[in-house]
Amino acid sequence: MTLALAIHGGCGTLPKAEMTEAEWAQARSDLASALRAGWAILSKGGAAVDAVEAAVRVMEDSPHFNAGHGAAFNTEGEHELDASIMDGATLAAGAICGAKRIRNPITAAKALMLRGDPLLLAGPAADDFAEHEGVDTVANEHFSTERRRKNLASMKLREIVGTAAEASEAEKHGTVGAVACDAQGHLAAATSTGGYTNKPVGRVGDSPIIGAGTYARDGRCAVSGTGKGEYFIRYCVGHEIASLIAYKGLSLKAATDAVLAELSEHKVGAGLVAVGADGSIVAPYNTEGMYRGWVTEDGLIHVATHDHVELAGQA
């Protein structure tokens, strides 16, 4: 079976001027680190579900992505974190939303999946569960970064002057995610996010919604999405791609292109990474850029933010 691992760190316009060259290089380097963490598990015969967790954890800990440390601020200047994970072998899944104190939300989601029930925990109960399970908790300020604080100030200003709709995606959105196929041919997907800058308190997007932002089923595909979450929920993006493959006989590429085309029709900025039952990888997006990366069979790491794909050494 072909091992496969792909990740994303959010899509959008990603204006080059928004960060220094050194910061862009650091973001690409963190993508490569995430891929190395996941690949280390896959290449030793580990499970896809462990690999996607490991890759997402690295991005949650990086300030460059809107998840964990580096998460967006909500309208009250706090961080509310959402995450989910799904094991395509068993359809087991775990998800949390509105967490405020879990350092790595994806690890809490996985712990919930392993416990088996409930599947989705919201709000303080998610934080309490993490604490009870020995998953690292931190103060909410742990997730704060200077860049996101500026994003919040900018969005508040745009709100006042009425230009919120014109804000760049980088100011607003962002999500991280990973998909994998392991040596046993099992698929898995994981997604984690801080939502979007200036989001209403209590807003839950697609990242913790199984079938929308995250979906995996052996023999079909694993998908992790990024973009305007409300549309990912309405279009059941993850499960829609799996259905087009299973019931309409589309290839992974044709299925993901079809769904992206439908979202584009509605002017929804969107991107995703997906892996097929055969270990094939796609990473399409309809925005100017998407933080992304994957490892090819030969163990070579590829990372990209815009069109140009960079080789980042051996995994």
C-alpha to C-alpha distance for 127 and 250, rounded to whole angstroms: 40
92-99/120-122 β-pairing: parallel
210 is an interface residue for a second copy by CB under 8 A: yes
C-alpha to C-alpha distance for 94 and 6, rounded to whole angstroms: 20
35 is an interface residue for a second copy by CB under 8 A: no
**Nearer Cβ to a second copy (126/315):** 126
- Tell me the chain's radius of gyration from C-alpha atoms: 17
**Nearer Cβ to a second copy (27/242):** 242
Work out how close the CB of 164 gets to a second copy at its nearest, in angstroms, rounded to a whole number: 11
C-alpha to C-alpha distance for 303 and 107, rounded to whole angstroms: 24
295 is an interface residue for a second copy by CB under 8 A: no
Q: Looking at 107, 175, 256, 305, which residue is catalytic?
A: 175
**210 contacts 87 by C-beta, under 8 angstroms:** no
C-alpha to C-alpha distance for 222 and 279, rounded to whole angstroms: 10
> Taking CB under 8 A as the rule, which mask of x and - marks residues 78-117 in contact with a second copy?
--------x----xxx---xx------------------x
194 is an interface residue for a second copy by CB under 8 A: no
Residue 226 annotated to the active site: no
Q: Taking CA 209 as the corner, what is the angle to CA 282 and CA 280, rounded to the nearest 5 degrees?
A: 15
**How far, CA to CA in Å, does 82 sit from each of 3, 50, 69, 131?**
28, 18, 13, 16
300 is an interface residue for a second copy by CB under 8 A: no
Cα of first residue to Cα of last residue in the chain, in angstroms, is: 18
> Taking CB under 8 A as the rule, which mask of x and - marks residues 128-147 in contact with a second copy?
xx------------------
**Nearer Cβ to a second copy (62/226):** 226
Work out how close the CB of 123 gets to a second copy at its nearest, in angstroms, rounded to a whole number: 5
Work out how close the CB of 213 gets to a second copy at its nearest, in angstroms, rounded to a whole number: 11
**Nearer Cβ to a second copy (40/246):** 246
260 is an interface residue for a second copy by CB under 8 A: no
Work out how close the CB of 263 gets to a second copy at its nearest, in angstroms, rounded to a whole number: 11
Number of residues forming the site for a second copy (CB under 8 A):
43
Work out how close the CB of 194 gets to a second copy at its nearest, in angstroms, rounded to a whole number: 14
Q: Identify which range of 21-29, 101-109, 235-243, 275-283 contacts a second copy by CB under 8 A.
A: 235-243
C-alpha to C-alpha distance for 109 and 202, rounded to whole angstroms: 18
247 is an interface residue for a second copy by CB under 8 A: yes
C-alpha to C-alpha distance for 96 and 16, rounded to whole angstroms: 33
Residue 79 CB partners (closer than 8 Å, separation 6+): 71, 72, 73, 100, 140, 143, 144, 194
C-alpha to C-alpha distance for 81 and 123, rounded to whole angstroms: 9
> Taking CB under 8 A as the rule, which mask of x and - marks residues 211-230 in contact with a second copy?
xx--x-------------xx
C-alpha to C-alpha distance for 305 and 163, rounded to whole angstroms: 26
Work out how close the CB of 205 gets to a second copy at its nearest, in angstroms, rounded to a whole number: 8
Helical packing angle, 252-265 and 237-248, nearest 10°: 130
Interface with a second copy by CB under 8 A: which residues?
A: 86, 91-93, 97-98, 117-126, 128-129, 199-205, 209-212, 215, 229-230, 233-236, 239-240, 243-244, 246-248
| Residues with catalytic function | 175
